[in-house]
Amino acid sequence: MSNPVATEVATLGAGCFWCVEAVFQELHGVQQVVSGYAGGTMAHPTYDQVCSGTTGHAEVIQVTFDPGAIAFADLLYVFWRTHDPTTLNRQGHDVGTQYRSAIFYHSEQQRRIAEQSEQDTEASGLWPRPIVTEIVPCTNFYPAEAYHQNFYRQNPYQPYCLFVIDPKMQKFRKEFPHQLTDAADNHG
């Protein structure tokens, strides 16, 4: 009888969760990605409520991953390189506190790794401006409505997917081919 794989959870905010979900679903070692809301005060918010900017929540993804296949630090390496962590409450044309850059850590170890990863990224000169990503404990997570889950995979010809997510995914696949799942090679 084999032992089940021990998994960990990471919760990340990097703009529109459709974009972030699409990227992280393609990483080897990621078992599940759920789009949702975190960091706010309202219990069980709706998408419209989060978009109003009054809930305090950010659009996030919650990633279940096998740390034997991909480390939390590796997830953060991708995180820093697939969104702009220097823009406060904004990613591209998406503006508002719900689009903030955030790492919601689940343990003290994740906090330490996130803080070190941020320092290393800042020191690397990857971004010309200071990083404004918040690193805070994950105190709540609410899955988004069903139509937000697997959005890019289920709606590849939707205009937002064609004009915003597709270019991001092409760049991602080019820069991270060694970290992609075999299934990712079949997505375009």
Instruction: Give the tens place of pLDDT for each residue, 124-149.
Output: 999 999 999 999 999 999 999 999 99
**pLDDT for 183:** 47
Q: Name the pairing type of β-strands 101-105 and 134-137.
A: parallel
> What residues does 142 pair with on adjacent strands?
37
Token pair of 154 as six digits: 């289920």
Describe the strand order of the beta sheet including 8-14 as a list of residue ranges.
134-137, 101-105, 8-14, 58-65, 30-38, 142-143
**pLDDT for 179:** 74
Q: How confident is the model over 71-95, as a mean pLDDT? A: 95
Q: How confident is the model over 103-120, as a mean pLDDT? A: 98
What is the rounded distance in angstroms from the CA atom of residue 14 to the CA atom of residue 63?
A: 13
> What residues does 32 pair with on adjacent strands?
64
What predicted TM-score, i.e. pTM, was given to this entire model?
Answer: 0.92
Residue 23 CB neighbours (<10 A)? 26
What is the rounded distance in angstroms from the CA atom of residue 96 to the CA atom of residue 58?
A: 9
Catalytically active residues are: 16
What is the rounded distance in angstroms from the CA atom of residue 186 to the CA atom of residue 90?
A: 31
Token pair of 53 as six digits: 């900017």
Radius of gyration over alpha carbons of the chain, in Å?
16
